[in-house]
Structures are given as structure tokens and as C-alpha cells.
Structure 1
């Protein structure tokens, strides 16, 4: 049977006007957000740290719940309520679910593609990919073990034993002085997001994309926050640790 009826997509009127029909040779424009409904025929749906059932399940969402989609990306092929798809939906809570269980009114893509950070220099390649780093971070969700160790937390997430910098302020200074710090645009998924703080030690977190970060000091533990929720935002960089060990 068909996956979904077309035309039932719940998108605000302002966003609908930005949609462009699929025309051969013309790039498709999508909404910046949309509403969907979870349909699992009863069971809670696992919200994952990345686009695969192999990534950490850090929370669930109930059958019938309304969710907000901020972007979509390809990942593991999943067969669910609405057939088989490789599309995964990034939700406003910072996690991902398979589009096979989300009623959106369309069988195809409906919101913008998730944007990933560029690669770090090949001279110091991280042991983990952005999705792998984010998965490690979510495995420590709500942990208090890394308070006052934000820089180490991000380095551990990317697979290192340590960053090679003594503070996030020094790390952010290095990224800035070497041309890696970006001060405009929403930090893409996997980027390091840098901040000043009153102690002059700085702060750093990992971007989930679409304005969300995961890091320490979110209510006293590892958690998800908006990228501007921490004071004194500096900017974002590729996940580059030139002195990591």
C-alpha cells in the first residue's frame, strides 16, 4: 500500500510558499521545518543520536505524538509503518528517527537536508566521524562526570585521549588565529562550538546541527541546548585538534 497521502503535510503557510515543485534540472527547495506524527501502531519509537538503529537510543517518543522536523538526512534503510526508506528525520529535541515511522503527508523529502561540518585537515584526522562523536556524547547523556571538562569531553567524543590544549579558551583562540573559526551561520552538524566565559577558561560543545549542541554544563550535566544558550558565543570550527593525543 502507499506510504502516505500527499497534501497532508502540516507546514506553516509561510513555509509552504517557499516550496518549489520538482522540475527536471532545477534544484528542489524545501521547508525549514515541518510537523509530523509518529505512527508505530502502538510502541514507543526510539530517538537515536544518528541516522541508524546502531546509534544510541537516548530517549523515546510515543506513538501518535506530534514532532517537529528540522532537517532530513540519509542513513540506514528501515522498513516501518510507511514502507522502506533510508531517510531519517532530525527532530527539534536534537535526535533522529526513521522517516518510515513518521506521517508527513509525503513519501519524499519535505525539509532541508541536514548540513554536516567539513573535514578536518588530513594531517590530524579524528578517530571518529561527526556522527560517531555525537553518538559517544549521547552515550554520556545526563552524566555529571565531565563537568568543568568541556574540552576533554569533546576530544573524547572524537576519539582522542585529550585535546592538547589546557582550556577551551586557548583552543578557541588557536582556531581563531589559524583561520578556522566561523562567526556567521548556524554551526553545522559535528562542528566544535566555542564560547568565552567569566572564568576565562572558555567553553566548547559539539553541534548537532539546526541550532542544537550537545555538551557539558546543561543543567549541571551533559545535555542538549541551543547554540546561543551559553553566553558569549565565539563561533564554530571544524573538529580540528592539532595537538590531540
Structure 2
């Protein structure tokens, strides 16, 4: 039979006729919803620039803004702080192609729900040496130092301090990466998930390491001479990624 229902489309209710088949309406149990790998969106704040934050909440660092009416690309979505904006109230946050996050309450996507894949987070480090700071907290710490030149040639210390340590306990990122690899923590397949340590060789033999923002983005030192965001393969000597584990940290 046919029945009339209301489908919410970004703040408007539109009556539509749909075919209702008994027993087949709704999501099939046990079947995961498939989403796009990326999608376009448009910022709508009714005039003011929107803060782009380091994590899914207004308490995270605002390291840049995006103009009202700007076109953006969503790479993944995650849940966080509930925000009321142009398109109602939601706890959905969007990771943009520059590595920052905005509330979906201010992004026109053509849907009130999720449209791209969940943001993938790295697994926990071994319980014998847990980090003082969480994944989103570490990324927030890193973004608070965006464009700083104070950490050049200190990439390993930068990532360890981001996770709440005084230092890593390793002499260099090459030494740390070697330890990670020899103990079975280094992964060489798949895009590094959010919060992972991303390891590299370099010509100086000291190695390099950064923190993954997810979806192919990292934040670390030596990006145009300071702390910045880059693609995880922008450095030519990629080794792989690991959980954020610092067994010798202090």
C-alpha cells in the first residue's frame, strides 16, 4: 500500500509518498550501512566565519576558520559535542579535507544524517604504558602549536609531548621506528587511522614521525618549516604506522 510520511531535509519537512511493504521497511538487522568515502558540502552560518577545530567539540582548538558559503569536502564523520546551528541540533562532526573538524549543524550536505564513512581511530596502546593524553587531546595539543617553528628537528619529542609525556625516551625517530618495527607494532598497509604515529626514514638517518589526523592527513613538524598538516605520503620515505606507544617515555 502507499502511505504519506515526512522526510526531514535540512530544516524543512516535505510530504512524500513511499511504498510501504510489510516486513521490508527500515534497515535490515545485522547489515552495516554503507557510506561514501568523501562528499561535498557547503558552509552555512548566515554570515559569520565558522571555526575549524582540532577535534569534535567546541572545546578543541580553533586553528583556522572557513567562510560562510564556502565549498568543503567531507572525508569522514564522527560523534562529539552536541551543537545547535543552522540545520538544527546534532552531535555529528565532519572531518574536512584540510584535516580539521566542523559541526555538521553548519554544513549543507542534502541530508540531516551521516553521508560519509565513520572516522577511523587508532587502537589503544599497551596497558603497561598508557599515554597521559587521549587521541583527540594529543591532536588538540599539536594544533595549539600550528605553524610553530620551535619543534624543528624535534619531531619525536613533539609527538611524545602531544601525548602527554616529557620525552619519548628514544634518541631519534629512526631508533623509535626501529623499535616499533622489531616489536611487531608497525603496520604497512591501510591508511593510518586518527591518532596513529606515522613513521618515516630520512636522508639524515634520524627518521621522522608525525600524528595521523585520519583519512590520509598528518600533523607534525617540518611542514613548510613549522608545525603543519600534510598528506601522509608527502614524505617520500614512508615506513608505516603504529599505535601511539612510547615504552621508554618519561
CA shift digits 1:102-153 (9 cap, x unpaired): 0000011000000000000011000001100000000000000000000000
Tell me how far apart the structure 2 counterparts of residues 198 and 46 of structure 1 sit (CA, whole Å): 38
Partner of 1:94: 99
Partner of 1:10: none
Q: For 1:106-125, list aligned pairs within 5 A.
A: 106-125=111-130
Distance of aligned partners of 1:71 and 1:115 in 2 relative to their CA distance in 1, 3 Å threshold? same
Question: Aligned to 1:206, what secondary structure does the other structure show?
Answer: strand
Distance of aligned partners of 1:2 and 1:151 in 2 relative to their CA distance in 1, 3 Å threshold? same
Q: In structure 2, which of residues 215, 218, 224 is the aligned counterpart of residue 219 of structure 1? A: 224
- Displaced runs of 4 or more, over 4 A: none
Q: In structure 2, which of residues 18, 28, 34 is the aligned counterpart of residue 24 of structure 1? A: 28
Question: Aligned to 2:60, what secondary structure does the other structure show?
Answer: coil
Q: In the alignment, does 2:10 pair up with 1:3?
A: yes
Partner of 1:172: 177
TM-score normalized by the length of structure 2:
0.90
Tell me how far apart the structure 1 counterparts of residues 198 and 120 of structure 2 sit (CA, whole Å): 15
Partner of 1:152: 157
RMSD: 1.4
Tell me how far apart the structure 1 counterparts of residues 9 and 242 of structure 2 sit (CA, whole Å): 43
Per-residue deviation, 1:44 = 0.2
Conserved 8 A contact 2:138-2:162: yes
CA shift digits 1:196-234 (9 cap, x unpaired): 000100000000000000000000000000000012100
Q: For 1:65-214, list aligned pairs within 5 A.
A: 65-214=70-219
Tell me how far apart the structure 2 counterparts of residues 153 and 65 of structure 1 sit (CA, whole Å): 32
Gap regions ≥5 residues in structure 2: 1-7, 14-24
Tell me how far apart the structure 2 counterparts of residues 45 and 203 of structure 1 sit (CA, whole Å): 33
The alignment of Structure 1 onto Structure 2 pairs a total of residues equal to 231
CA shift digits 1:143-180 (9 cap, x unpaired): 00000000000000000000000000000000000000
TM-score normalized by the length of structure 1:
0.92
Q: In the alignment, does 2:56 pair up with 1:51?
A: yes
Question: Aligned to 1:217, what secondary structure does the other structure show?
Answer: strand
Per-residue deviation, 1:22 = 6.0
Per-residue deviation, 1:34 = 0.2
Tell me how far apart the structure 1 counterparts of residues 135 and 113 of structure 2 sit (CA, whole Å): 25
Question: Aligned to 2:222, what secondary structure does the other structure show?
Answer: coil
Per-residue deviation, 1:2 = 5.4
Conserved 8 A contact 1:78-1:98: yes
The structure with the greater share of residues assigned to strand is 2
Partner of 2:243: 238
Larger Rg: 2
